[in-house]
């Protein structure tokens, strides 16, 4: 349980100013979930409570889903954090049992049960015998797994039991164990069925709200790895999951009009409401902009795409068919969310700008590949087909992403062949300790590969090889391995390999960029040894 922090004067003054504005409830209720979450993060959970009294149950649900689910690494599936949710329970309890029970009922008994399961063991004492002392709530016996948190948890349970015993009875039913227990041996017991049920409900709820979940993003990208290039080139429709997601996003965008004052207000009252609303916007909008909310429901694309071949074609498309251009930008929004949820750069989550840039450059790579590599009678007819018809930029992205997947396979294949070569064995004969170290690190890296054979972390292995190999080649290899779908600009240099390895990078955007990486990989083994 996190201890409460002292109120900061800066945020408390801001909260006081906000609460004085009569339009605050309407303003808060029109905030998208991630923007509200960033505002709460800026104010602090405790200081934000007076403002959150105006949030809708749907917004509170979004807020909890954002705060209490955490991913161990970018692209990995999120898991529930009982500790985070317990912080919210404590804040709601401070506002009284009615507020506590209202919020918990809106979120559902299963979520509360999943939190309880972290800290307590629950049994039905009418059906199952229990030895030792146990606190009882009607037919349920409750025993702590965490003695330190038990006094606070017991207080919450008593408050809920007094206010809404039916809700607590339902929650206990979800986490109740169905076997005999001895009090002294219950600390490792957990209900394995709760988490999948709660997480499945959350995924369904978020998909209905237009979010691209980590699971759906991974499924989208995994499908591309399983397809052939021919299949991707011939696709003429969205895959079913993508079609459903785009439809949801379009519906949300169509219904997401800003809140307006009631038409029954007089002109002077209307002007006063608008004045208050502008004051709120002037105060909060810069904060929300500065916070740069990540993982938004709908990404805001840049005013103009990157200056590539794709940019030229999109500008021409806008002159011919503005509706088709709007569809393409909707696809960029979807793909940006997929990239943020399903990939990482150097082990970190992509920002919105990075994700959007990655989408545009990957789409440009796919488009240029189709124009320059695949045989077509007329370039303009091909571009029109790709950009004016379903699946539009989805197909361009799929092709570009597929082409990028060849690089890690070749990269790790070249490194593996180099390490298994006779030259490697001869160089290490006089250094048995280093030979053992490198073999162990290579074996570890192999064990941590993804389904496509890509190593997750080559850095320890590359650090060991610096004693033996071309340092420039290894540094370029490190940058290439760590930066996909980006690549170091030094790989694109003409002529002899540079002495200094540039750490500047850019996204793969053209077939020429791919060729630079493949050329480097073709000579990697000879450069290493």
Query: Is pLDDT above 80 for 521?
Result: no
For position 181, what pLDDT does the model report?
A: 46
For position 147, what pLDDT does the model report?
A: 86
Q: Which long-range contacts (CB under 8 A, 24 or more apart) does 521-527 make?
A: 521/407, 521/410, 521/411, 521/414, 524/411, 524/414, 524/415, 524/418, 524/473, 524/477, 525/414, 525/417, 525/418, 525/421, 527/470, 527/472, 527/473, 527/497
d(CA 477, CA 385): 38
Query: Is pLDDT above 80 for 56?
Result: yes
d(CA 163, CA 92): 13
Backbone φ and ψ of 474, nearest 5°: -65, -40
d(CA 206, CA 336): 16
> CB of 295 within 8 A of CB of 37?
no
Query: Is pLDDT above 70 for 246?
Result: yes
d(CA 342, CA 336): 10
Query: Is pLDDT above 80 for 71?
Result: no
For position 60, what pLDDT does the model report?
A: 92
Report residue 254's pLDDT band, with 50, 70 and 90 as the boundaries. low
Query: Is pLDDT above 50 for 495?
Result: no
What is the average pLDDT value for the chain, to the nearest integer?
75
For position 240, what pLDDT does the model report?
A: 86
The pTM of this model reads: 0.66
Query: Is pLDDT above 70 for 306?
Result: no
* Closest alpha carbon to 97 in 22, 194, 169, 162: 162
Report residue 91's pLDDT band, with 50, 70 and 90 as the boundaries. very high
Report residue 301's pLDDT band, with 50, 70 and 90 as the boundaries. very low
For position 453, what pLDDT does the model report?
A: 44
d(CA 385, CA 313): 12
For position 66, what pLDDT does the model report?
A: 86
pLDDT digits (tens, 9 = 90+) for 93-146: 999 999 999 999 999 999 999 999 889 888 888 877 666 678 889 889 888 888
The listed range with the strongest mean pLDDT (150-164, 174-188, 203-217) is: 150-164
Region 419-440: what's the mean pLDDT? 74
pLDDT digits (tens, 9 = 90+) for 133-163: 788 898 898 888 888 889 999 999 999 999 9
CB crowding 8-41: b at 16 or more within 10 Å, else e: eeeebebbeebeebebbebbbebbbbbbbbbbbe
For position 294, what pLDDT does the model report?
A: 41
* Number of DSSP helices (H) and strands (E) in the chain, helices first: 27, 10
Report residue 376's pLDDT band, with 50, 70 and 90 as the boundaries. low
Region 215-219: what's the mean pLDDT? 82
> CB of 448 within 8 A of CB of 455?
yes
For position 75, what pLDDT does the model report?
A: 61
Q: Considering only 52-56, 93-97, 262-266, 406-410, which range has the smallest mean pLDDT?
A: 262-266
Domain residue ranges of the chain, discontinuous segments joined by +: 9-195, 210-258+291-401, 406-528
d(CA 455, CA 448): 6
* Closest alpha carbon to 242 in 391, 404, 405: 391
d(CA 352, CA 335): 11
311/378: higher pLDDT: 311
Report residue 445's pLDDT band, with 50, 70 and 90 as the boundaries. low
In the chain, what percentage of residues exceed pLDDT 70?
Answer: 68
> CB of 298 within 8 A of CB of 252?
yes
For position 395, what pLDDT does the model report?
A: 93
For position 394, what pLDDT does the model report?
A: 93
For position 185, what pLDDT does the model report?
A: 46
Report residue 251's pLDDT band, with 50, 70 and 90 as the boundaries. low
Report residue 73's pLDDT band, with 50, 70 and 90 as the boundaries. low
Report residue 5's pLDDT band, with 50, 70 and 90 as the boundaries. very low
The listed range with the strongest mean pLDDT (233-247, 271-285, 480-494) is: 233-247
């Amino acid at each position: 349980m996190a201890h409460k922090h002292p109120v900061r004067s800066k945020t408390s003054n801001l909260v006081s100013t906000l609460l004085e504005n009569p339009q605050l409830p309407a303003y808060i209720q029109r905030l998208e979930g991630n923007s509200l979450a960033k505002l709460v993060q800026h104010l602090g959970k405790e200081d934000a409570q007076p403002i959150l009294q105006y949030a809708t149950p749907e917004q509170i649900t979004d807020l909890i889903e954002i705060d209490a689910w955490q991913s161990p690494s970018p692209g990995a599936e999120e898991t529930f954090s009982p500790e985070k949710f317990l912080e919210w329970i404590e804040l709601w309890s401070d506002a009284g049992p009615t507020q506590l029970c209202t919020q918990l009922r809106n979120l559902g008994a299963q979520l509360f049960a999943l939190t309880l399961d972290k800290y307590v063991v629950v049994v039905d004492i009418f059906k199952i015998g229990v030895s030792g002392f146990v606190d009882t709530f009607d037919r349920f016996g409750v025993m702590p797994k965490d003695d330190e948190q038990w006094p606070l948890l017991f207080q919450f349970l008593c408050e809920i039991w007094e206010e809404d015993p039916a809700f607590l009875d339902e929650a206990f039913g979800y986490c109740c164990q169905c076997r005999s227990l001895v009090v002294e041996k219950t600390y490792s017991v957990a209900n394995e069925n709760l988490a999948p049920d709660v997480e499945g409900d959350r995924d369904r709820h978020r998909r209905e709200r237009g979010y691209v979940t980590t699971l759906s993003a991974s499924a989208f990208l995994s499908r591309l790895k399983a397809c052939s290039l021919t299949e991707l080139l011939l696709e003429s429709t969205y895959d079913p999951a993508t079609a459903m997601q785009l439809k949801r996003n379009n519906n949300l965008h169509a219904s997401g009009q800003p809140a307006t004052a009631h038409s029954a207000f007089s002109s002077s009252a209307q002007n006063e409401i608008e004045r208050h609303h502008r004051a709120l916007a002037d105060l909060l909008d810069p904060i929300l902009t500065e916070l740069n909310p990540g993982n938004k429901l709908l990404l805001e694309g840049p005013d103009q795409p990157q200056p590539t071949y794709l940019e030229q074609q999109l500008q021409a498309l806008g002159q011919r068919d503005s509706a088709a251009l709007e569809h393409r930008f909707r696809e960029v929004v979807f793909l940006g969310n997929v990239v943020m949820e399903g990939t990482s750069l150097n082990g970190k989550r992509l920002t919105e700008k990075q994700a959007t840039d990655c989408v545009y450059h990957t789409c440009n790579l796919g488009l240029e590949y189709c124009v320059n590599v695949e045989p077509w009678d007329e370039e303009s007819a091909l571009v029109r087909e790709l950009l004016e018809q379903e699946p539009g930029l989805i197909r361009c992205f799929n092709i570009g992403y597929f082409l990028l997947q060849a690089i890690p396979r070749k990269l790790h294949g070249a490194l593996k062949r180099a390490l298994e070569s006779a030259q490697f064995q001869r160089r290490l004969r006089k250094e048995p300790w280093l030979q053992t170290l490198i073999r162990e690190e290579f074996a570890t890296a192999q064990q941590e590969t993804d389904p496509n054979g890509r190593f997750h972390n080559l850095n320890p292995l590359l650090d060991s090889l610096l004693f033996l190999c071309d340092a420039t080649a290894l540094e370029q290899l490190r940058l290439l391995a760590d930066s996909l779908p980006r690549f170091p600009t030094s790989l694109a240099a003409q002529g002899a390999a540079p002495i200094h390895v540039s750490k500047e990078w850019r996204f793969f955007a053209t077939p020429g960029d791919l060729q630079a990486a493949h050329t480097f990989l073709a000579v990697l083994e000879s450069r290493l040894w």
